[in-house]
Structure 1
């Protein structure tokens, strides 16, 4: 029996200063085997957990693709150092996210392949990053990273409040903490304030 094509809707709702992640999708496989009891165990992965993981993976991949360009294209040594540290963290995040997806029992169908979601570094931005150097690259990198970090923090806040699986919520808390530190550092070394909330070129 073929898996039904799931429909994923992500909506960030601001309420009392808290960003909430609201997810709607069809049933997803989880690690829970006690659905008949009406109470899933703490390790079960809910549709919200799975949707968060499936979105965070391409978010991290795109951002790392841009930070990987920094050593040969950035003019600011401080921004180069930040990009290197952020890139390493993004690589570690991807490994842990893939491990969680495997643990959830959901196939790695990559539902966001080729998409440009809010805050996600767009493919045109990555392409442009490969053609510019110096201050132009610094500005592009700073704006795209700011958008990525801002959106990641909101998504992680949503997972922490709306998610179910303990391991997923723990990773969300870790990523949120690292994101706060990286944002603070980016604000210190950024060549200019981001020109728009999205930061990256739409594609």
Structure 2
């Protein structure tokens, strides 16, 4: 009888163990399934975020400050080129001649770059400014020479030209630096802000150079 009871209990215990194992496996599968579902949902969310972040940033990449900077600086640079080209045949100081060439070499490519920006942005290349620096609203770009200033510079020769050129170009550069600082503060386009930074650095150096020229003339 004792043997019979033992043989009867062993299957019962095994049955309980099997039931427990099945239950545990069921719970594990449910847990794994829940984890996979959660992971799938998380992956889908990241995919949507990635697609959103890779969309073209063209809209809103530039703003009105960038457009105004490009339009105005083109006109400003064009006048600097006119002033620099007057040095040929008029300037007597070699440093003035060299500086005039450097200004032309630096600013002509920048004009072309800003033209390309405006074309890409679909904006007009005109800012309403004429070469006297006045716009239709009565405002003016800082540092722009008047017609009289340009006439006086054109008429000057030798040391008189050298002195006038340095004085007027210091004022002209200072205006460009102010405009570039406005772009750095209010602009949105990274390339335009980089050019503004270059204007500030390069023209500040040239202002110091021209001040040194005036001190020795």
Please tell me the root mean square deviation across aligned C-alpha atoms, in Å.
2.1
Q: Distance in 2 between matches of 1:47 and 1:131?
A: 39
Matched residue, 1:96: 113
Q: Give the structure with the higher percent helix.
A: 2
Correspondent of 2:202 among 175, 178, 187: 178
Q: Give distance in 2, aligned partners of 1:123 and 1:181.
A: 27
5+ residue gaps, structure 2, are 1-56, 134-140
Aligned partner of 2:88 among 54, 61, 71:
71
Q: Alpha-carbon deviation of 1:68? A: 0.4
Q: TM-score, normalised by structure 2?
A: 0.65
**Would you say the 8 A contact 1:142–1:191 is kept in 2?**
no
State the partner residue of 2:62.
45
- Summarize the alignment of residues 155-194 of structure 1 with structure 2, pairs less than 5 Å apart: 155-190=179-214
Match of 1:119 among 143, 152, 159: 143
Q: How many residues align?
A: 154
3-state SS, counterpart of residue 88 of structure 2: helix
Which has more radius of gyration?
2
Distance in structure 1 (CA, Å) of the matches to 2:185 and 2:89 = 40
User: Could you tell me which residue of structure 1 aligns to residue 79 of structure 2?
Assistant: 62
- In 1, the alpha carbon distance for the partners of 2:216 and 2:184 equals 31
Which structure 1 residue ranges, 5 or more long, are not aligned? 1-39, 194-203
Normalising by structure 1, what TM-score?
Answer: 0.69
Q: Distance in 2 between matches of 1:61 and 1:147?
A: 15
